[in-house]
Amino acid sequence: MIIRNAKVIICSPGRNFVTLKIETDQGVYGIGDATLNGREKAVVAYLEDHVVPLLIGRDASRIEDIWQALYRGAYWRRGPITMTAIAAVDTALWDIKAKAAGMPLYQLLGGASRNGVLVYGHANGADIAETVDQVGRYKDMGYRAIRAQSGIPGVKGAYGVGRGDMYYEPADAILPTETLWDTSSYVTFAPKLFEAIRNEHGDEIELLHDVHHRLSPIEAGRLGKSLEPYRLFWMEDCTSAENQEAFQLVRQHTVTPLAVGEIFNSIHDCRELIQNQLIDYIRATVVHAGGITHMRQIAGLAALYQVRTGCHGATDLSPASMGAALHFDLWVPNFGIQEYMRHSEETDAVFPHSYNFEDGYLHPGETPGIGVDIDEKLAAKYPYQPRQLPIARLRDGTMWNW
């Protein structure tokens, strides 16, 4: 099966998505997500100028060889732009292979290891009372695991409380919106939030929380310790993970489980974290970490150390990402949980898909391939809208991690 054409489709049905579509001489095509929130056009250029010309004429069935050619062949390795572009190619090729085999992708990977994929939704509120209510709303929808984020008194634009109701979306302006960050206010507030949630909703529901890289290691250790009575499923990105050793300090101080890695793009970003058992869940995902091919390596390493997967699944990852991730999740032996932020109706219409939610679990469906398509005509009605993610500053104006 020879690759005849590959094209990059950019659309904005409520938010921006970049999709790679690879077509073969036998009429079978595959798609892969290539969206890198706020930096979309860099991946588009990488794909169009440097990757697509290399694909034409190649045998679409040689997924591993194409992966190696794009990774080694560029000489310049790793990084979010490169690895997102490689991921898009890889996902599209797995989609093609599974379609050609007449199987849903999870069957090709080794078959289902579970009946459904446990997912967590996002409960966001302006204050504690509203967040407690939102947790109830997600419980009513059938979720068994819920991430809770709340506005903090006196902190403008606290992370996780975006515009939108079901479709929280932080990339909101052409130039970055400025938000405030105040560690002292946050670390005293967060335990009160989870105390209120447990008081109202009991012990059974799984609760998650995202710190979004904002604390120092010792502050993260303290926060984790103060959250222990509320038995979090995980505390995410509690400190910046550029220095993987930093997590030793966090680990020494808390038994709250740790999740890291939505911004990782290769196994080298998490090797020490995994080998030293400094984390419990690895958040790397198909679209930003080199596709299904590389995610299998990351999960394989993680399995040796009892680290489980917890793939990123925010709205800035397209349904093509979600579909691919769900096949991976259904198969991967050391699965933990999958993030599931629902897409807008416009997005769902542009990307018809076979995955479905029931009783707190998602299933990728039985459609051959990744089970997600793109309606190009409809996509063309939603042109690209330049948008960037916010930034955060401390009270004195110092630039901080958003």
Rounded CA separation 168/175 (Å): 19
Q: How far is the CB of 165 from ligand CS2 (least distance, A)?
A: 15
Q: How far is the CB of 170 from ligand CS2 (least distance, A)?
A: 6
| Contact (Cβ atoms closer than 8 angstroms) between residue 38 and residue 171 | yes
Map tokens 């330049």 to a residue. Answer: 386
> Which spans of this chain sit near ligand CS2 (rule: CB under 6 A)?
37, 170, 210, 212, 262, 312, 314, 316, 339, 389
The one of ligand CS2, Mg ion, none whose footprint includes residue 37, by CB under 5 to 8 A per kind, is ligand CS2
The one of Mg ion, ligand CS2, none whose footprint includes residue 33, by CB under 5 to 8 A per kind, is none
The one of Mg ion, ligand CS2, none whose footprint includes residue 218, by CB under 5 to 8 A per kind, is none
Provide the 3-class DSSP secondary structure of residue 40. Answer: helix
Instruction: Give the gyration radius of the chain's Cα atoms.
Output: 20
Pairing of strands 117-125, 335-339: parallel
Q: How far is the CB of 313 from ligand CS2 (least distance, A)?
A: 7
Query: What phi, psi does 192 have (nearest 5°)?
Result: -65, -40
340 is catalytic: no
Q: How far is the CB of 350 from ligand CS2 (least distance, A)?
A: 19
Query: What phi, psi does 361 have (nearest 5°)?
Result: -120, 145
- Regarding 280 and contact with Mg ion (CB under 5 A), the answer is no
Provide the 3-class DSSP secondary structure of residue 236. Answer: strand
Element (H, E) at 210: strand 206-210
Q: What is the DSSP code string of 68-126?
A: HHHHHHTSS--SHHHHHHHHHHHHHHHHHHHHHHTSBHHHHHT--SSSSEEEEEEEEES
Nearer to ligand CS2, 85 or 98 (CB): 85
Q: How far is CA 305 from CA 3, 272, 273, 279, 297, in A?
A: 39, 11, 10, 10, 13
- Regarding 339 and contact with Mg ion (CB under 5 A), the answer is no
Nearer to ligand CS2, 166 or 378 (CB): 166
Q: How far is the CB of 59 from ligand CS2 (least distance, A)?
A: 34
Nearer to ligand CS2, 71 or 281 (CB): 281
Element (H, E) at 134: helix 128-140
Strand partners, 309: 282, 335
Rounded CA separation 88/19 (Å): 7
Q: What is the CB-side half-sphere exposure of residue 12 using CA atoms within 13 A? A: 14
The one of ligand CS2, Mg ion, none whose footprint includes residue 316, by CB under 5 to 8 A per kind, is ligand CS2
CA terminus-to-terminus distance, the chain: 45
29 is catalytic: no
Provide the 3-class DSSP secondary structure of residue 141. Answer: coil
The one of ligand CS2, Mg ion, none whose footprint includes residue 349, by CB under 5 to 8 A per kind, is none
Nearer to ligand CS2, 37 or 91 (CB): 37
Nearer to ligand CS2, 312 or 353 (CB): 312
Rounded CA separation 354/78 (Å): 32
Q: How far is the CB of 112 from Mg ion (least distance, A)?
A: 27
Rounded CA separation 225/237 (Å): 15
Stretch that binds Mg ion, among 31-39, 87-95, 134-142, 254-262 (CB under 5 A): 254-262
Stretch that binds Mg ion, among 170-178, 227-235, 258-266, 394-402 (CB under 5 A): 258-266
Q: How far is the CB of 127 from Mg ion (least distance, A)?
A: 21
Using the rule CB under 5 A, which residue among 210, 219, 280, 316 binds Mg ion?
210
The one of ligand CS2, Mg ion, none whose footprint includes residue 219, by CB under 5 to 8 A per kind, is none
Nearer to Mg ion, 339 or 373 (CB): 339
Q: What is the DSSP code string of 314-338?
A: -TTS-HHHHHHHHHHHHH-TTEEEE
Catalytic residue among 212, 213, 288, 327: 212
The one of Mg ion, ligand CS2, none whose footprint includes residue 363, by CB under 5 to 8 A per kind, is none
Catalytic residue among 143, 159, 167, 382: 159
Nearer to Mg ion, 189 or 402 (CB): 402
Q: Applying CB under 5 A, which residues contact Mg ion?
A: 210, 262
Cite the active site residues.
159, 212
